[in-house]
Amino acid sequence: MRSKVLKSCLALAIALVASLGPVEFAHAQAAKGPSGLPLPRFVTLKSKRVNLRIGPGTDYAVSWMYLKSGLPVEIIQEYDNWRRIRDADGTEGWVNQSLLSGQRAAIAAPWMKTKGKGIFVNLRREAQPSASIIAKLEPGVMLTIGECNGDWCRAETDGATGWVAQSEIWGAYPGEAFK
């Protein structure tokens, strides 16, 4: 009797899991900030000059100044109209939300910048590892991203447009899909 109950419970659990289907990235990212948007999430800097502060307000000291618009950053916390961000180098601080844009960008393999010469990220004609290479990108090159399918992102840099492996960029989460 006990064996039949256990088998029934196991069968029910397997059926339940199978009925859920694949879990999308958006569902896995359950945490939401006060804005109602997911945390963490990637955005870009809107302005050419952005002060990174040690706390959420203009009364807090500036710890860093970004001088490039379009730079991808990750929002990791929200407080009122301030966003705690992290950049590709791991630097964290607070920025006013008005200085951020929902547009997406990425950096080609920033973790490989110190590995020496001859290391590249391939920009390909199609979203396939066997597709022809359009450009070889040095680690640290900024890309504008139009969409990602979970494995590949459609990207543009210096007039070259193609597909880059999602695992080779900082600016899109593994498995994240968006258009």
CATH number of domain containing 92: 2.30.30.40
The answer to whether position 52 is within a domain reads yes
Query: Do 78 and 116 belong together in one domain?
Result: no
Residue 123, domain extent: 104-176
Query: Do 75 and 110 belong together in one domain?
Result: no
Residue given tokens 């966003």 in the structure block: 83
* pLDDT tens-place values along the chain, 179 residues long: 444 433 343 333 333 333 333 334 443 456 898 899 999 999 999 999 999 999 999 999 999 999 999 999 999 999 999 999 999 999 999 999 999 999 999 999 999 988 888 899 999 999 999 999 999 999 999 999 999 999 999 999 999 999 999 999 999 999 999 99
User: What pLDDT, on a 0 to 100 scale, did the predictor assign at position 30?
Assistant: 61
Cβ distance 136 to 122 under 8 Å? yes
User: What pLDDT, on a 0 to 100 scale, did the predictor assign at position 44?
Assistant: 98
Query: Do 117 and 155 belong together in one domain?
Result: yes
In angstroms, the CA 145 to CA 138 distance is 17
Please choose, from the candidates 60, 47, 62, the residue with its C-alpha nearest in 3D space to the C-alpha of residue 103.
Answer: 47
In angstroms, the CA 148 to CA 25 distance is 12
Query: Do 120 and 77 belong together in one domain?
Result: no
Helices (H), the chain: 2-20, 25-28
In angstroms, the CA 33 to CA 107 distance is 25
